[in-house]
Amino acid sequence: MSTSFRRRAVFLDVDGTIMQDGRHIPPSAVDAIRGARAAGHVVFWSTGRGTAELTGALAEIAVDGAVTNGGAFASVGDEIIVSRLMSADAVARLEREFAARGIHWYFQTYDRLFASAGLSALMQTYVERDRAVHVERARAAGVSPDDLEFFSIGMKAFDDPEHFVAAEVAKAVILGDDPDEVGALLAELDGDFAVVSGTIPLPEGGSGEVAPAGVTKGATILEVLAHLGIDPSDAIGIGDNWNDVEMFEVCGLSIAMGNALPEVQALADEVTTAIDDDGIRNAFLRHGLI
């Protein structure tokens, strides 16, 4: 006896969900995405990254669209269907607040990143530290450092400040040496803005994201689903961090990665295996997507 096909919309976070340590994507996850799409389902990125950061191996994986910049933008195919930007006054306020507290930042537009004056130098220290660790790991493994792929959180490509336009800013990402100071600032901004803490893995200090009030992955996913004519009960959200919580809330099925924070796992409907233990493939298999 045949059964009717249930078309699902899958929203995948990137860092910690499909991509490990900013560089490695499990082949089983790529195969799962391709298999699900071939079966008639739709798959979207749902990430805090902007389009400028969806390059390399990520760009080689064909998906149906993306929710980017933490929900500020959404695309279906080549069409941008959601665009939520900060006002110029909000951008100016954030610059003053960040500078007053000695906090580094970069602004995201749809496809560019613009850094504060001291951020590039700070990022370079991360690169140098991570490269030293990379060399030691290679030596311990008895191979050349050139034979292992190198990645550092400091490897971000910032645009020339002369191209900066405040009216194009969608989100700010902040990094500070004092996690208490970062936390205090985020608490102060909460309400006037949408804030999320601890979104960038730093060797020390604190981090967070600041977006226009009401901008979340979840709110934008609902707009994507309405555009596609897919009921939220047929949506699946898979993630690992605090900026995935609103995605969990709107999707009919929420799945946390096995490597997610325990507190985030507790907010999901279920937990799959870790990213490096075929977590995406196992979730797709369990729910008949492949």
∠ CA(39), CA(224), CA(14), 5° rounding? 70
Pairing of strands 42-46, 65-68: parallel
Domain extents in the chain: 9-84+215-286, 88-120+152-212
The domain made up of 88-120+152-212 has a fold known as 3.30.1240
Averaged pLDDT for residues 24-35: 96
Q: Are 188 and 174 in contact (CB under 8 A)?
A: no
User: What is the second-level CATH architecture of the domain 9-84+215-286?
Assistant: 3-Layer(aba) Sandwich (3.40)
| Distance between CA atoms of residues 103 and 76, nearest Å | 35
Each residue's pLDDT tens digit, 214-258? 999 999 999 999 999 999 999 999 999 999 999 999 999 999 999
Task: Kindly indicate the confidence band of residue 122, based on its pLDDT and cuts at 50, 70 and 90.
Answer: confident
pLDDT band at 176 (very low <50, low <70, confident <90, very high): confident
- Residue 83, both tokens: 């665009």
Is the whole model's pTM more than 0.75, yes or no?
Answer: yes
Region label for 102, one of left (φ > 0), alpha (ψ between -120 and 50) or beta (otherwise): left
